[in-house]
Amino acid sequence: MRIILYTGKGGVGKTSISAATAVRAAQLGYKTIVLSTDAAHSLADSLDQEIGYNPTQMAENLWAQEIDVNIELKNNYYVIQKFISDYLRRQGFDPIVAEEFAVFPGMEELFSLLKVREYSASGEYDVIIIDCAPTASTVRMLSFPDAIRWYMTKFFHIERKILKTIRPIAERITKMPLPSDAVYFSVEDLYLKIQEMNDILTDGSVTTIRLVINPEKMVIKESQRAYTYLNLFGFKVDSVIANRILPKDLEDSYFKKWLKIQDKHLETAEECFNPLPILRGKLFDEEMVGQALLNRMAEDIFKDIDPTGVLCEDKSMEIIPSGGKYTLRIRCPALKKEQLGVWVKSDELIIRAGSYKRSFILPRTLALVPLTEANFVDGRLEIIFGGDKDERKKGAVQPSL
Ligand SMILES: Nc1ncnc2c1ncn2[C@@H]1O[C@H](COP(=O)(O)OP(=O)(O)OP(=O)(O)O)[C@@H](O)[C@H]1O
Ligand SMILES: [Mg+2]
């Protein structure tokens, strides 16, 4: 089974390319489903066919689904949401506001993504293609499992034990609802589902992410940042798709200027996404809507490559042992030294990069040796465990231990 996620800045062509890939994959004989985690669905517009809340057959081997986030929220989150909104109501919140506040930003997308777990377990499809929301939301959605794991292990289990002993007294004093076992059960169940989903999504032999760009400065910058964060959270990005490239044979001087600009940006993209392949898709002279045109789009982008393949095998993260030292390497091309914090707390490595924080539970081999150094080498963050602390290189990011 293969899972392919498409993300990129708003309007670059994510939905069209997701749908095009699905049409092509189905034609190649793979049983394929395309779905979107973007609540503003546009797959139906792209395929020019109606799509239901359940998998709807579009053609031989091809299904599509526009997930109803409200149903997903109800199925996965009703008990928790009710607890939080009751709590907020008792704090004096307006009931409608309380209900809205009980759903955190990015949650709808996350619940849509949980479908991946369901379809992976059922083995019903060979290929699952996911049209994601623009990059920032996708990164937030994909970093959520890591954050939730942190809260669950550090906070939830301990708190549950305390609550069991203090509930009878606390409820009399505070008049506030305390989470019942049903709430805890629901939280735990959700947590396990999210972990299972995360295991599938971070297995680079199953799931890869593709960044859709247009040859424009801001678009490339945003995708480069997303690439760094996706690497940091352990997702495998296997290619970049540069969409809306102007045809070479334009005679008009106005467009010739644009061609030059695009060429320059494509060169930049080649450099900053190296070693990812950059597949190119031309700007067609019409809107690419409906299966026939989407198939043309897929042919133009993928040529005779199987679009369901893993298009780049390079690892985003690896651990290299050498002479008593271990180097943890993570591809982070868009990060600066000042944006970075690295530290270890018992068996946990914490990396703060810009506004994101990632925590890794270290394998025993690494947890037993001290973190001695962190460097940037060729767009990679290298974190060194073990070795002699006095040998720290000048200019390295000094980890706080
Ligand atoms: N290479 C192309 N040539 C011509 N038209 C294109 C091309 N790529 C996309 N389009 C058109 O551009 C419009 C926007 O594309 P699309 O909806 O796929 O972008 P998106 O990245 O999904 O946008 P959003 O961020 O809003 O979800 C659509 O009308 C689509 O048909
Ligand atoms: Mg879209």
User: Tens digits of per-residue pLDDT, 335-380?
Assistant: 777 788 888 887 778 888 877 888 777 777 677 788 888 888 877 8
| Token pair of 179 as six digits | 């989470």
Average pLDDT value over all residues in the chain? 85
> Percent of the chain scored above 90 by pLDDT?
40
CA distance 46 to 41: 10
Q: Where in the chain is the domain with CATH 2.60.40.790?
A: 317-391
| Token pair of 295 as six digits | 């198939």
Asked if residue 373 lies in contact with residue 381, where contact means CB atoms within 8 angstroms, the answer is: no
CA distance 370 to 276: 33
CA of 29 to the centre of ligand 2 (A): 25
Is ligand 1 within 6 A of the CB of residue 138?
Answer: no
Asked if residue 399 lies in contact with residue 371, where contact means CB atoms within 8 angstroms, the answer is: yes
Element (H or E) spanning 303, and its range? none
Greatest mean pLDDT among 57-71, 141-155, 216-230, 308-322: 57-71
Instruction: Tell me what the mean pLDDT of segment 53-80 comes to.
Output: 90
Which ligand is nearest to the Cα of residue 215, counting in written order? 1
Is ligand 1 within 6 A of the CB of residue 10?
Answer: yes
Q: Supply the CATH classification number for the domain 1-312.
A: 3.40.50.300
106: left (phi over 0), alpha (psi -120 to 50) or beta: left
Element (H or E) spanning 202, and its range? none
Is ligand 1 within 6 A of the CB of residue 12?
Answer: yes
The whole-number pLDDT of residue 395 equals: 46
Residue 151 has pLDDT above 80, yes or no: no
CA of 21 to the centre of ligand 2 (A): 14
The whole-number pLDDT of residue 335 equals: 77
Cα distances (angstroms) measured from residue 233 to each of 116, 129, 197, 205:
18, 20, 14, 16
* Gyration radius (Cα) of the chain, Å: 23
Residue nearest ligand 1's atom 9 by CA: 13
CA distance 297 to 299: 5
CA distance 95 to 89: 6
CA distance 64 to 34: 5
* Phi, psi of 35, rounded to the nearest 5 degrees: -140, 165
Ranking 136-140, 160-164, 231-235 by mean pLDDT, the lowest is 160-164
Q: Which residue has the higher pLDDT, 57 or 221?
A: 57
Is ligand 1 within 6 A of the CB of residue 244?
Answer: yes
The whole-number pLDDT of residue 400 equals: 44
> Percent of the chain scored above 70 by pLDDT?
89
Taking residue 29's Cβ as centre, other Cβ atoms within 10 Å add up to 10
Residue 87 has pLDDT above 70, yes or no: yes
CA of 311 to the centre of ligand 2 (A): 22
Reduced to 3 states (helix: H, G, I; strand: E, B; else coil), residue 83 is helix
Q: Environment class of residue 312 by beta-carbon count within 10 Å: exposed (0-12), middle (13-18) or buried (19+)?
A: middle
Q: Supply the CATH classification number for the domain 317-391.
A: 2.60.40.790
Is ligand 1 within 6 A of the CB of residue 11?
Answer: yes
Binning pLDDT at 50, 70 and 90, where does residue 162 land?
low
Specify which residues 353 forms β-bridges with. Answer: 340, 356
Taking residue 249's Cβ as centre, other Cβ atoms within 10 Å add up to 6
Tell whether the torsion through CA atoms of 262, 265, 270 and 274 is positive or negative: negative
Is ligand 1 within 6 A of the CB of residue 20?
Answer: no
Q: Where in the chain is the domain with CATH 3.40.50.300?
A: 1-312
Residue 98 has pLDDT above 90, yes or no: no
